[in-house]
Structure 1
Amino acid sequence: MMMVFGLFVFELRTAPYQNLGQESTFRHVNNSRVGKSPRYQYIGRGEDKITLGGTLYPEVTGGDVSLAALRTMAYTGKAYPLIEGTGGIYGMFVITGISETRTEFFKDGKARKIEFSLSLEKVSEDLREMLADVDLGFEGQWNGFVR
């Protein structure tokens, strides 16, 4: 097992991916100042996107059924957990796009080779964000003691 997305398992007989791209953005706004260059302020994380791409050979690997299952998951609009085969948890993701290119056809029109790309976007808070918001409960307790 390479990875699990919801109940869909990425492995040799379903949809083995050959590349995994990850893009994270972070939001900064600029604050203009009179007579000085602008200052930038961090306002939080932006989007986290993952792209899985690969080539399917239906005689050996998954094919139409695997891609149909992923399309069905996309049509639900729901977020699913993305977990790596090593146990690493990426978080909750939605499918934002699926593309496929079919080449090398049999006489009946069925493709021998299907190249696919699956675009996912994170919708859950990152653990690091949750830890940044932890309130230890000390605020206001020391007001009478600190001068």
Structure 2
Amino acid sequence: MKLFSNSFTNLERALDYSSLKQKVISQNISNVDTPNYKSKDVSFKEMLAHESGTGLKAYRTNQRHFDFNGSPSANGVYTRNNMQYNHNGNSVDMDKEMSDLATNQIYYNALTERISGKFQTLQSVIKGGR
């Protein structure tokens, strides 16, 4: 009999993703004035493929559809190319980074509340519903 479902594992992986995204956003913000710094992002698709051990396959039914053949690194972090916002070659857009930071914070808070609820449910079961 399986005691726990995969929900704890899935929530843990989601927290790992959110933590990595937070680090990448913080790195981008800290390098906003660094000449020729290229901003980075985290690819959820690549992290999912890395965690599941198999790559995601997609078949294009039309040539205008997006191609899913990317080559980000195994941990899902990749450099955004073809972007330049500053005269010194830096591609960090501070407004986008702050927006991503707020979005990631909301996502992280929702995950922590969900995992806290799971533990409270377990605690209630252990105590016999009291």
Give the structure-2-normalised TM-score: 0.31
Structure with the bigger RCO (C-alpha within 8 Å, sep 6+) is 2
Which protein has the bigger helix share? 2
Give the structure-1-normalised TM-score: 0.28
Higher Rg of the two aligned structures: 1
Which protein has the bigger strand share? 1
